[in-house]
Amino acid sequence: MLKKEQNDLLTQTNPGTPLGKMFRRYWLPALLSEELVEPDGAPVRLQLLGEKLLAFRNTDGELGLIDEFCAHRGVSLWFGRNEENGIRCPYHGWKYDIRGQCVEVPSEEASSGYCDRVALKGYPMIERGGVIWVYMGPPELKPPLPEWEFATVPLENSYMSKRLQDCNWLQAMEGGIDSSHVSFLHGGSLNHDPLFKGAKGNQYNQNDFKPVFEVVDNEGGLFVGARRNAEDEQYYWRITPWIMPTFTMVPPRADHPIHGHFWVPIDDHTCWAWSFDYHPTRALSTSERQAMIEGHGIHVLVDKDYVPLQRKSNDYMMDRQAQKSKLYYSGIRGIGMQDASLQESMGHIIDRTKENLVSTDNGIIMARQRMLKTLKALEANPSMDLPGLNPEHQKVRSVAILLKRDKHYKEAAREELRAAPGKPHASV
């Protein structure tokens, strides 16, 4: 369990908070490319890390993310006109470019230079892998561009979705590195979900409810290894990378695509759950992509605002008969919503002073410790190189593998845990 002050430290990301400063040092997923396609198109409201922002693509196709509100009288620029390489406030015509710099105040003479002294907060954005990314930290500390494998394979090899999650980012992320719940919560879904079924690994999950966790440090975060018994004096290992602060990758099954998440705070009570699937050596099939669109695997059916159709207000469309029959162990359809429903049930921010943790929570315990240690170091040295910023830290894979019982995955699966173009993924 954590002390209250530690829990606060790990869950609060608004401007000026220690964790907020850390998050702002990373390139974060902000929007799907599909949300901001057309030059001079409609702007998009976006809240991240407690800041209300506005994204738009200008006449030249460049991306901008600026403070949502006009510096004049505080009008939301979402109502503005996106035209001639700037967003113009409809109230009095003040205009801003993609950096947030005011470029025109119609009521003032241009020669006065008044608009040169007015600027909104603005953040750089880049587009990669079907995702629009933002960097919200100090300009002089901007890291290299993200090199996650899903974002660098051909677009036909990958799929990305996002959904609103009605809880703090940390309890969502902790679910992403908890392999022990798979045998229970997802037990029924493993056998019929089109993006999971047919894998030999499913049998190991369902036959051994007492996984042993062995967690090791890596440069970017942790490898969380969960081993289960297998035949021929072997263990079935599922190895989940966690790269700071918020990237997790789920071990694959058979030749199904690899998948994983980013959990990006909107504020202290909600987050965006980003879910990716990709295959390192081939294009996704039509049926795989359609299954993802339909909310199978780790993806979820959402409305036009990316809010899940299964949600707290309709009890996640729970089916008690399906629960009794174990078609869906929890009675809730879909692996993504099975996770989200329970994480949201904890409340917006769980009181971690009341927890009773066990050995299968070692990955969660060590992730918290790594975060707290890094926050302390960052306070002492605000320009330090953070784990996960180096693109080499991002070139990781999750792994499912059978190993002889005298072998430890740290050494025996070292090569399989490293992403490389065209290399087949290790799966069971």
pLDDT of 147-198, one tens digit each?
Answer: 999 999 999 999 999 999 999 999 999 998 987 888 788 877 888 899 999 9
Is the pLDDT at 259 greater than 80? The verdict is yes
CA–CA dist 307, 310 (Å, integer): 9
- Judge contact between 88 and 94, C-beta under 8 A: yes
Number of domains in the chain: 2
pLDDT of res. 188: 77
Does 98 share its domain with 130? yes
User: Which of 104, 122, 141 corresponds to the end of one domain?
Assistant: 141
User: Which of 106, 141, 176 corresponds to the end of one domain?
Assistant: 141
Does 123 share its domain with 256? no
pLDDT of res. 255: 96
User: What residues have CB less than 8 Å from 5, skipping those under 6 apart?
Assistant: none
Does 183 share its domain with 67? no
Residue 230 belongs to a domain with what CATH number?
A: 3.90.380.10
pLDDT tier, 273 (very low <50, low <70, confident <90, very high otherwise): very high
Q: What is the pLDDT of residues 7-29, one digit of tens each?
A: 999 999 999 999 999 999 999 99
- Judge contact between 308 and 207, C-beta under 8 A: no
- Judge contact between 402 and 230, C-beta under 8 A: yes
pLDDT tier, 325 (very low <50, low <70, confident <90, very high otherwise): confident
Biggest CA-to-CA distance, the chain: 83
Summarize the confidence of residues 319-329 as an average pLDDT. 88
Residue 73: domain span: 27-141
Q: What is the pLDDT of residues 80-115, one digit of tens each?
A: 999 999 999 999 999 999 999 999 999 999 999 999
CA–CA dist 195, 338 (Å, integer): 15
Query: 307 by DSSP, 3-state: which?
Result: coil
Does 315 share its domain with 370? yes
Q: Is residue 21 part of a domain?
A: no
pLDDT tier, 416 (very low <50, low <70, confident <90, very high otherwise): very high
The share of the chain scoring above pLDDT 90, in percent, equals 91
Does 353 share its domain with 265? yes
Summarize the confidence of residues 217-227 as an average pLDDT. 96
pLDDT of res. 284: 98
Q: Is residue 122 part of a domain?
A: yes
pLDDT of res. 143: 98
Is the pLDDT at 242 greater than 90? The verdict is yes
Does 183 share its domain with 249? yes
CA–CA dist 284, 368 (Å, integer): 35
